Amino acid sequence: MTSSGAAATSDAPDATRLWRPGRPVPVGALLRQQRRGAGDPTHRLAVAGRHWRATRTPQGVAALAVSEPDRAGAVTASAWGPGADWALDRLPALLGDLDDWTGFEPRHPVLADARRHHPHLRQGRTGLVLEALVPAIIEQKVTGQEAFSSFRALVRRHGTPAPGPGAAHGLMVPPDAATLRRIPSWEWLRLHVDPARSRAVVLAARHADALERAAVLTGEELERRLRALPGIGVWTAAEVRQRALGDPDAVSFGDYHVAKDVGWALEGRLFDDAELARYLRPWAGHRGRVPFLVAAAGLRRPRRGPRLAPRGHLGTRDQMP
């Protein structure tokens, strides 16, 4: 990794990195794991020949631009902002380099086939708890369409333009904890976030420093810390474990689709959460890889009937522990 010092132009990166992973790395697919819907302003994938991500690191804001691997398999990344070095240091983890599949046995031909067709897809980790937690809370008990719209509006109204040239593509950094704490209740309603969810976001923002320190804990320990806060339950904690820690054992119980889709794909019938929990026991330590592979293979049960209205409530995505 190299630093450029004082940039000659606003487009010159503050730091760059050439990473040789020694394996194929599908950069766009891996960064998509962190994106919250196609319109997420914190991510701009496949724009100007690179994949862009804006984040708020412990050292400050950063914009990251990552190219797909070249013919030799090397990944080139540039970063802007005071958090540039931090973001580049953690680029391999973000792109799945710490994801260890040792000990995972597919145990089912559908999973074996999915693994064979997606051998290079791994689970990335950001190491940033609040970044994963805020949109997860917003996604509680509403459709994805409404949640993505609310998060998009939150970032556009209360975030900041990303440093560097990504801002010209609409790239934005999510709001910091202090900003989240100051958003009034009526503004949350304008964002279509109800009082239960907005209270949970504000409370999480008040504990932001402690939550970020918890990023070094195991998934189960982080979940215990998260669920000690009102408004955060098993579904929300699992979503954070997956994105912030890349935890292969985290399962989004309570999701409207996960249990049903896994049951349909692997056993030809719809599971509920209790059935899914029993079914996943043989994969202890790697339980999250089962729905991960099912989703990667695009195995979704046939959808029948009209689409849910935007204000509909889904499954049991938690708002309380």
- Confirm whether 234 is domain-assigned: no
- Confirm whether 55 is domain-assigned: yes
Q: Give the model's pLDDT for residue 307.
A: 46
Within 268-315, where are the H helices?
273-279, 289-296
- Confirm whether 113 is domain-assigned: no
- Confirm whether 79 is domain-assigned: yes
Q: Give the model's pLDDT for residue 61.
A: 98
Token pair 């820690």 is found at 245
**Tally of structural domains, the chain:** 1
- Confirm whether 76 is domain-assigned: yes
- Confirm whether 243 is domain-assigned: no
- Confirm whether 24 is domain-assigned: yes
- C-alpha–C-alpha distance, residues 166 and 139, integer Å: 26
Q: Give the model's pLDDT for residue 10.
A: 65
pLDDT of residue 5 exceeding 90: no
Query: pLDDT tens digits for 179-206?
Result: 999 999 999 999 999 999 999 999 999 9
Mean pLDDT on 303-319? 53
**3-class SS of residue 244:** helix
Mean pLDDT on 6-30? 86
**Cα distances (angstroms) measured from residue 79 to each of 15, 166, 193, 217:** 5, 10, 32, 27
Query: What pTM was computed for the model?
Result: 0.91
Q: Which pair of structure tokens corresponds to residue 55?
A: 């984040």
- C-alpha–C-alpha distance, residues 175 and 158, integer Å: 6
Q: Which domain holds residue 43?
A: 2-100
Q: Which pair of structure tokens corresponds to residue 300?
A: 């979704």
pLDDT of residue 320 exceeding 60: no
Mean pLDDT on 50-78? 97
Mean pLDDT on 110-116? 96
Give every CB contact of residue 128 below 8 A, 6+ residues apart in sequence.
55, 56, 57, 212, 215, 244
- Confirm whether 164 is domain-assigned: no
